[in-house]
Structure 1
């Protein structure tokens, strides 16, 4: 008898604002991708298995720092975000509107998609098992 640990799935978090159409689109995209990942009929090349975490709570300060680093490539957290506007971590933490932006985050791979760009979200999901 061979003992194997069960594979843990990479967590993908959607910071969701249910009242926003773009957030609903991102949620629908992720839910569809999750359903496909669990389907035996899905082509292996399009199937990234993951655990979907949906939260309406704002990201913590540490999570925001990570998200800004993932999006901008700048560990200090300053960079371009939200249609070219530049923000620092301090501005994002202070700005209540900022946390409402839809963010889809793959914590394991260090990737984030801001907004509801379906092709970018699907690309992130498909890369999960390829890393």
Structure 2
């Protein structure tokens, strides 16, 4: 008769693990685009469509080249004066840039086909008016 001895240790926890069991990841809604990113994309797209350099537009708008670059990349939130100057340097009005930005924002914010938009349900006693 031979006895079999295992070389594996048996671990007995002294106390239960305080960490909760991992849950299934919740569906994360798509992140809404930031206005500064959208406006920066519009300015860059318009500049490139005109085949102009960043330096050319910055000089025409009287904006520093590094600052305009940061605005185009969505790193800086430009004032309305800066946006108007950049727009005019591109031969556009501020309203044109804002309209292009609005169109882009709507395109980016539209959920993909088959995805319903969830709206918060009214709370008890809450009144919502539609215009």
TM-score range for the pair, normalised by the shorter chain length: under 0.3
TM-score (norm. length: structure 1): 0.28
Structure number with bigger Rg: 2
Greater percentage in strand: 1
- TM-score after normalising by structure 2: 0.28
